[in-house]
Amino acid sequence: MGLPAQSKPLIKAGKKRRREDEADTGSAQHAPPTAPGAAADEGGIKKRKRKRTKQIVEDPKDADKKDGIDESIGKMDGPLLADFFAQQAKRHNSQLTAIELDDVYVPEQAFLDTTSWKSPRVLENLPAFLKVYSRKKGSPDSLSTAPKENGSPHTIVITLAGLRAADITRALRQFQNQDCAVAKLFAKHIKLAEAKEFVKKTRVGIGIGTPVRLNDLATSGELRLKQLQRIVIDGSYVDQKKRGIFDMKDLHLPLLQFLNRADLRHRYTSCENHVEILIF
């Protein structure tokens, strides 16, 4: 007589468990599906990212570029520099013919060998660098003496951007005096017309600018190159993206065009009114 009374709670409990099990099964069936191999894909992505980062760090092209300086540039003598310039010309200007490439070729005789310079080619060492490699043209004091004709610098420094030109100008202020200007010829706020007017009225000893601006000033006639003794290319400096003046396609051809101007090209190999190129 007591068995039926005890079986009812067991039946109810069994039904309750079945309902809970069905609910759990239903939740699992309706849960958002997980993409096959998602965990593996995520691991693969992370692995590829690590691998890619490692490749950037170990890129052989940047091996000599440390602390804003490309150390490989200072190790090149005249023949190596001439070959390097020619290779970069082909790399950046594949559309040029062999004859056109020859028109922008810089001969090895144009380059003054500065491989004997062992100090870092950083901005604070630029004045000392110029003093050492200007002695063939006279005493180091000649850097502070501008030609009498306005707009006729004895030294031109070519760099890659306006901000860098401003930094170089400040570094070379020690060569400036009342009769010898160290002149920044390019900046975002200095328009071409203003630069022309300044050069026309000023005795410039050292002029600093970008390839395009220097070309424009020389072509217009305000920047006179008859008294020019040396062209210093800011070649070792690299920006935050590890690009130097030789790495930038939009600057490299204008640089070669300036170096190969008709009023300069023959002077690299001439004893008379000789011009030399220094890579800092």
Q: Is 64 part of a structural domain of the chain? A: no
- Which residue among 33, 57, 81 closes a domain? 57
For residues 96 and 42, the model is more confident at 96
Q: Is 28 part of a structural domain of the chain? A: yes
Domain carrying residue 238 = 69-279
The string over 199-213, giving b where at least 16 C-beta atoms fall within 10 Å of a residue's C-beta and e elsewhere, is: beebbbbbbbbbbbb
- Which residue among 35, 57, 79 closes a domain? 57
> pLDDT tens across 105-149, in order?
999 999 999 999 999 999 999 999 999 998 665 555 689 999 999
The string over 129-157, giving b where at least 16 C-beta atoms fall within 10 Å of a residue's C-beta and e elsewhere, is: bbbebbeeeeebebbbbbbeebbbbbbbb
Q: Are residues 46 and 86 in the same domain?
A: no
Q: Is 63 part of a structural domain of the chain? A: no
Q: Are residues 48 and 79 in the same domain?
A: no
The total number of structural domains in the chain stands at 2
Q: Is 200 part of a structural domain of the chain? A: yes
Q: Are residues 134 and 262 in the same domain?
A: yes
Q: Report, as an integer, the average pLDDT of 221-228.
A: 96
Q: Which residues contact 83 (CB under 8 A, 6 or more apart)?
A: none
| pLDDT score, position 1 | 47
Q: Are residues 110 and 241 in the same domain?
A: yes
Instruction: Look at residue 20 and tell me whether its pLDDT is greater than 80.
Output: no
CB atoms within 10 A of CB 70: 23
- Mean residue pLDDT of the chain comes to 83
Quote the CA–CA distance of 127 and 141 in Å, as a whole number: 12
Q: Are residues 204 and 78 in the same domain?
A: yes
Closest CA to 231 of 186, 195, 267, 193: 267
Q: 3-class SS at 41? A: helix
Instruction: Look at residue 274 and tell me whether its pLDDT is greater than 60.
Output: yes
Instruction: Look at residue 242 and tell me whether its pLDDT is greater than 70.
Output: yes
Q: Are residues 152 and 261 in the same domain?
A: yes
Q: Are residues 53 and 85 in the same domain?
A: no
Structure tokens at 202: 């000023």
For residue 97, the domain's CATH number is 3.40.50
Q: Are residues 53 and 86 in the same domain?
A: no
Q: Is 248 part of a structural domain of the chain? A: yes
Percent of the chain with pLDDT over 70: 74
Q: Are residues 144 and 213 in the same domain?
A: yes
| pLDDT score, position 28 | 47
What kind and span of H or E run contains 181?
Answer: strand 181-184
Q: Is 256 part of a structural domain of the chain? A: yes
Q: Is 40 part of a structural domain of the chain? A: yes
Closest CA to 254 of 152, 160, 154, 186: 160
Radius of gyration of the chain, Cα coordinates, nearest whole angstrom? 34
DSSP of 192-229: HHHHHHHHHHS-EEEEEE-HHHHHHHHHHTSS--TT--
| pLDDT score, position 54 | 47
| Per-residue confidence band for 11, with pLDDT thresholds at 50, 70 and 90 | very low
> pLDDT tens across 167-196, in order?
999 999 999 999 999 999 987 788 999 999
Q: Are residues 118 and 226 in the same domain?
A: yes
Q: Are residues 246 and 182 in the same domain?
A: yes
Cα atoms found within 13 Å of the Cα of residue 187, Cβ hemisphere only:
14
Prediction pTM value: 0.76
Q: Report, as an integer, the average pLDDT of 196-217.
A: 97
Q: Is 62 part of a structural domain of the chain? A: no
Quote the CA–CA distance of 268 and 259 in Å, as a whole number: 10
Q: Are residues 47 and 168 in the same domain?
A: no
